[in-house]
Every structure is written in structure tokens, then in C-alpha cells.
Structure 1
Amino acid sequence: MTQREQEIIAIIRENPFVSQQEIADALSITRSSVAVHITNLIKKGIIRGRGYVVDERDHVSVIGGANMDIMGYPFTTLRRGDSNPGQVSLSLGGVGRNIAENLARLGVNTKLFTVVGNDIYGDKIIQDSLKTGIDMSHVLKINDLGTGTYLAILNGENDMDVAIASMDIFSRLDEKYLEDNQGIISKSQAIVFDTNLEEKVLTFGVNLFQDNDLYLDTVSHTKALRAKKIIGKFHTIKPNRLEAEALSGIKITGRGDLDQAATYFHREGVRNVIITLGEEGVYYSDGKSTGILKAEKVIPKNATGAGDAFQAALVYANLEGMEIRDKLIFSMGASLLAMDSYDTINKEMSTANIQKIIKNLEVTSC
């Protein structure tokens, strides 16, 4: 929400039957300006009709992985089976945690629901995430398993060549944990699931919160299959081509196949279908409009966090009531900003910096 919208909400909470003119007088603005803000707040689902009942769903919940990322960068072309001169960095990671940090940096009130070990990595994840603005008060900390770790070796173009994910701890992100936090999660404006959750837990969580707008981050081809039986319960999905094939059962080789896959997902119940196509761009469909958007190719400093930034921006854009094409452009801007950093999360991530990128972004429709 904007600062002005927050001021209007504060007045409405005091008096749900306050008139638009009374709000205008209190804030020293015109009644017509108040009417525009009220309309936007209704579109965003923050207030519901006359007399301006405030929907207390004021945050986004992210349910998924949090781990430490260890990244190896070769100075030159990566040589397999050899010791490569380069550098190694250590940073906070995990798909869910990365999405949560990007959301927080975009100004969204964000709560993370995950599990970490009672170790130095777990402490660092909690403390450093708090500094970025994520609410970590509901994170589960356990003693008998270590915090998740993701080890990646990048190639000469700073894209991932091979990686190992040590994620046994996420078996503790279970049904009981979701039930224990049901009250606060159910009050979310939106809920993002990543597929680091085991299939039975993901299914349980999606059914538990089916009255909310649910977003899916597929994480990987293998893990995406955990959502296959419940795919229609998601508001927005963002698989890549291979993941979309696995979830729909449709081989995707061209535009017609993309449309067919989107039709399948819409029939299942998905509202927004986003399929990333690598260098070929991003396909989108909301059941009314479809297309492929493509931006100019860039050489990333680090591409590993681009998808997480894209996902967070999609959630933000939807909360702001953007049309689907504008959502895609905004999310592509976030992805490009993410890649302009050696860290998994670009510390300069913000709506203002995304808008700067979009202003100069050459996007073609296919």
C-alpha cells in the first residue's frame, strides 16, 4: 500500500462509516482523490464495500525453504574434473526465503514459514532475514538436523552448471507446523508455496488455505510434480517449459502447445499461467489475453536468484492490481535487477529501481 492508502485505512479503522468528504478534510486532499484511493483499495481487496469494512489480511505468507547458499565462481571457463581458480561466496538462500526477502524489499509485509537447524547457519538465516524486513517470528528451529545447504558451481557465464542441495530438514516442515500456524497464515493477502515441501504436506497446506490466493513456485522439474494433483487450486503458477510439460502432460514445442497447456491449467482452475522459456522469453495467459514477452539478452553477474525475484514481483504486481502484461514486464524488470548482483538477492531490489529498468527496457511481443 502507498503511504496515503495507509493513512486512509487508519481513518476507516476508527470509523468504518466515515464519508469520503470527512476523509478528504482530515487529510487535506480533495474528495475525488479519496474516491480514487478507495477504489484502488477495493480492487486490492483491502477494504470491502460500504461501510468500508477493512480486511485484516495485511501480509503475504511464504511457505518453503530457507538455507545457506555456497556459490563457486570460476575466473575463466569452467573445467570439469579439475580444480578451477575462482572465488567462493556464502549467502542466505532457499526459494521460499529468497521470495520473502524480495517481497520485503518491495515493501510488502512478509512472513516466512520455514524450518532451520539450531546451528550457526540457522541463526544467521534468522538474524540476517530480520534485518531485511522479513517477519521470522514463526520459523521453526530444531536441534537434530542441520540447516539446509545449497552448493552451486557456476560456469564462465555465471550461470549454474551443477549443484547439490542438502535439504533433509524440510521433512520437518509438516502438517502439524502448518496447523499450528493456521490462524496467521489464513489471514494472508496471498500465500506462496514452494515445492520444497513434501507432496503430502503441500497437498495438506493447499487444501487448508484454499480460500486464499495461492501462488506456486515449482523449484525444479522433479519437485514440480508434487503439485500435479492439486495444480488447479493455485491462483498463479510460474513453471518453466519442462515443468509445465510435466504438470500438464503436454509436450511444448511451439506457441500452439503453450496455448494448449495454458488452456489445460485454466480448466483445472488456475487463474494466471506464466511459463518461462529462457532466452525465448516468457509466455502468459489469464484466460482472456495471451502472449510471449521477450527482453534483450544480458550477461548476468549471477542468475541463480532471478526466478525468485520474478516470483516475488508477480505477487507484488497482483496485489497492486496490475494487468497481466504489466505484471510480466514488472517481473521481468525485477529479474534483470536480480541478475545485476553477485549475491542471490540484489540489495538494491526496490519498486523504484525496477521502474528505472522498465523505463529503458526493450520488450518485444511474440
Structure 2
Amino acid sequence: MTEREKEVFDLINSNPLISQEEISEKLKIARSSVAVHISNLMKKGYVLGKGYILKEAPYIAVIGGANIDIEGVPLGVLKMKDSNPGVVNKTFGGVAKNIAENISKLGIDTKLITLVGGDSHGKDLIDYCRKKGIDTSYSTMLERESTSIYISILDEDRDMAVAISHMDIMTKMDIPFIKKRTSVIKGAVLCVVDTNIPLETLEYLLKHFKETKFIVDTVSLEKSKKLKNLLPYIDTLKPNKIEAEILSGIKISTREDTKNAAEIIIKKGVKNIFLSLGKEGVYYSNGTEMGFIETPEITVTTSTGAGDAFLAGVTYGKSERKNIKKQVMYGVSASISVLTNSKIKENDIDIDRINEILKEVKKCNSMKNI
């Protein structure tokens, strides 16, 4: 801890509710410098976030799963029911945690609301998030529970072939848990939630916090079914084609089917939809503005985390009050930044990189009738 960081730490320690502006005045330094010192203290683990409230700082709350990701990649063609030579990577993951980390990397104050076990995995997860500048003070570590683990096997094209998700701990995220976090949810400019949480909790969350704008990640086909009767309470939804079929009730085989499915979901109450079509891009609609956004040709290094990055990009665009087309382009650009990741154990994502990719996305779509 540097001398200046110690001065900031001592002020926070003596008054956990002190604002950045007050610290700036007391130490006679720029408020932007205070923000940097606090970020460093959080990364070093000295400031955990508990009780430290920055009322003037807008933030995004992210609610849902955090887990250990174990990914296996074969060296050749994946052979089912056989042992495949390959590479195994262990990372910190989970839909909510991934989205929270990506949003934080884009320079937005982020509060993660999740559950982890009291095992070494849980402690490592929380420590990792804090070092990344994510506020975990509203998350809980359950001593007698096991931290969620997600195991995925990719094929030779780096697409997921099969996965197993052990997320029993998420059943503990009940309504009383959410009620205790009412103030932080109501105070968020946007709230991202994934469907890993129990149905009754999801229903309470979406129906009770009527003034909160919820961005919902469907997570999987099975878990997306929880949303069938909750669509009127969702501001923004990101389903893939199969999930959209379930929520709309129609089969999607053509572009016209895609438009019709999105229109049905919009009519059911969703304000904005971003329908992921895989390699074919994304269809977006808010009932007034709509269109297809295609992706430029890229060399994919991994498919893991691309969907989470997409939603983080959309969330960034919404927080910057961009129109829906610009939001989807931010989402696609963030997704590409992960799909072409140059790092093995961590998503290579930042706003400068996204803005560079954004130029290619715009160029790819500029000559198309979208």
C-alpha cells in the first residue's frame, strides 16, 4: 500500500460512508485520483466494498451465477466415448460473474450479487472478483455449500460439444436473500439477471422492482422456460434461436421466421430483444427499430464466454444511452473480442479494443440492407 493509498484507506476506515468528493477535499487531490486509489485498494483487497457507498456514482447490479469453469479442448477431432488428448483450462466463470467482469472492464462500477461455497473455490472466486474491481459486498459465502462448477468439452472447431453444470447452491438464492438487497437493486441504473436463480426468486425480482430496468440472460434452453410468464416485466432479453422458438411458440427456419418470433416476444411485453443467430449474426427489435446485424469473418479461438461478452456490450451501450442498433453493435463487437481472444485464461476485452472491432462490424453491415 502506497502512502497516498493509506491516507485514502484511513479516511474510509474512519467513515465507511465517505464520498469520493469528500476524500478529494480532505486530501486536496483530484477526485479522479481518488477513484484510482480506491480501485487499487479494492484490487489489493484492502477495501472490500462493505459499507462504502458512493451515492453519486452510477452502477450496474448483476444477479446470478458464479462458478469455476473447467474447459477441455481436444488436439484433434473430438471422439465421443473415448479419451481425447488435449488441453484443460480452469478459469473463474459463471454467467453473472462473466457479465459483471466484462462490464467492469468497460469502466462501469459493477456490483455482483451471487452465492459461493465456503470451500477454496469460493474464496478464490471472491478474491478474483475483488482484484478485478468488482464489488462483491452484496454476495454471500455459504460455509456448508459447494461452489458451482461448470465443465465443458469443446470440439475441434472450438464449439461446445457437451457440458455439465453443478449449480445446486443457486437454489439458496431465495426471496429473503433478494429482500435484504432491495436498496442496491433499486439504486442500480440497470440490473442484469441470469436464469440460474430459482423461478420464484426470478418472479419476485422482476415483478417487485417495477422501476428497475432488467436485462435478462436466458442462459440455456431449459432455464429460459422460466421466462414464459415473465416477459412483460423484462426490459431487454437475449435469447438464441432455439430459446426464441420456445418463448414465441413458432419454429425459426428463415429470416422471416426470425422477425415474426421477435415480434411475438415484443408483443408479449419485452421492450427490447437481441436474438442471437450464431454465425448468422443477431436480429434486434424494440417494436419500432429492427434489423439484422451480421458479423465479419473472424478466426475463432474459443466460443466460451462470447454470449456473456455480448450482453456486457449491450449493457454498456444502454448505459451510454445509445440507440438499439448501436447497442447491438457494441454487443457483437464485445463478443468478437472474446471469440478472437489472444489470452488463454482471461477474456481479452476493453473499450478501446471493442471500438476498433466496432469499425469492422459497421463496415461489414454498411453495404447490406439490414
TM-score normalised according to structure 2 size: 0.81
Runs of 5+ consecutive residues of structure 1 not aligned to the other structure: 1-8, 15-54
Confirm or deny: 8 A CA contact 1:285 1:291 kept in the other structure.
yes
Asked if residue 304 in structure 1 is aligned to residue 323 in structure 2, the reply is no
Cα distance 1:159–1:344, how it changes in 2: closer, same or farther (>3 A)? farther
Q: Any idea what SS the aligned residue of 2:163 has?
A: strand
Matches within 5 A, 1:53-202: 58-202=58-202
Cα separation, 2, equivalents of 1:72 and 1:262: 35
* 2:364 alignment counterpart: 363
Please state how far the C-alpha of 1:343 moved relative to its aligned partner. Answer: 4.4
Asked if residue 275 in structure 1 is aligned to residue 275 in structure 2, the reply is yes
Runs of 5+ consecutive residues of structure 2 not aligned to the other structure: 1-19, 26-54
Cα separation, 2, equivalents of 1:106 and 1:209: 26
Cα separation, 1, equivalents of 2:234 and 2:21: 32
* 2:211 alignment counterpart: 211
Which segments of structure 1 move beyond 4 Å, counting only runs of 4 or more? 342-345
Cα distance 1:117–1:163, how it changes in 2: closer, same or farther (>3 A)? same
Cα separation, 1, equivalents of 2:62 and 2:318: 15
Cα separation, 1, equivalents of 2:151 and 2:211: 37
**1:188-215 alpha-carbon deviations (Å, 9 max, x no partner):** 0000110001111110111122211110
Q: Any idea what SS the aligned residue of 1:73 has?
A: strand
Please state how far the C-alpha of 1:145 moved relative to its aligned partner. Answer: 1.6
TM-score normalised according to structure 1 size: 0.82
Please state how far the C-alpha of 1:344 moved relative to its aligned partner. Answer: 6.7
Q: Any idea what SS the aligned residue of 1:299 has?
A: coil
Provide the aligned C-alpha RMSD in A. 1.9
Confirm or deny: 8 A CA contact 1:91 1:343 kept in the other structure.
no
Please state how far the C-alpha of 1:180 moved relative to its aligned partner. Answer: 0.7
Cα separation, 1, equivalents of 2:71 and 2:164: 11
Please state how far the C-alpha of 1:256 moved relative to its aligned partner. Answer: 2.4
Cα separation, 2, equivalents of 1:225 and 1:363: 34
Cα separation, 2, equivalents of 1:315 and 1:173: 23
Cα distance 1:221–1:343, how it changes in 2: closer, same or farther (>3 A)? farther
Percent identity (aligned): 37
Confirm or deny: 8 A CA contact 1:93 1:344 kept in the other structure.
no
Confirm or deny: 8 A CA contact 2:89 2:345 kept in the other structure.
no
Please state how far the C-alpha of 1:331 moved relative to its aligned partner. Answer: 1.1
Q: Any idea what SS the aligned residue of 2:294 has?
A: strand
Matches within 5 A, 1:198-347: 198-341=198-341, 343=344, 345-346=346-347
* 1:19 alignment counterpart: none
Q: Identify which range, 261-270 or 185-194, moves more after superposition.
A: 261-270
Q: Any idea what SS the aligned residue of 2:121 has?
A: helix
**1:140-187 alpha-carbon deviations (Å, 9 max, x no partner):** 111222000000111111121111000101001111110011111110
Cα separation, 1, equivalents of 2:103 and 2:97: 10
Q: Any idea what SS the aligned residue of 2:297 has?
A: coil
Cα separation, 2, equivalents of 1:77 and 1:266: 41
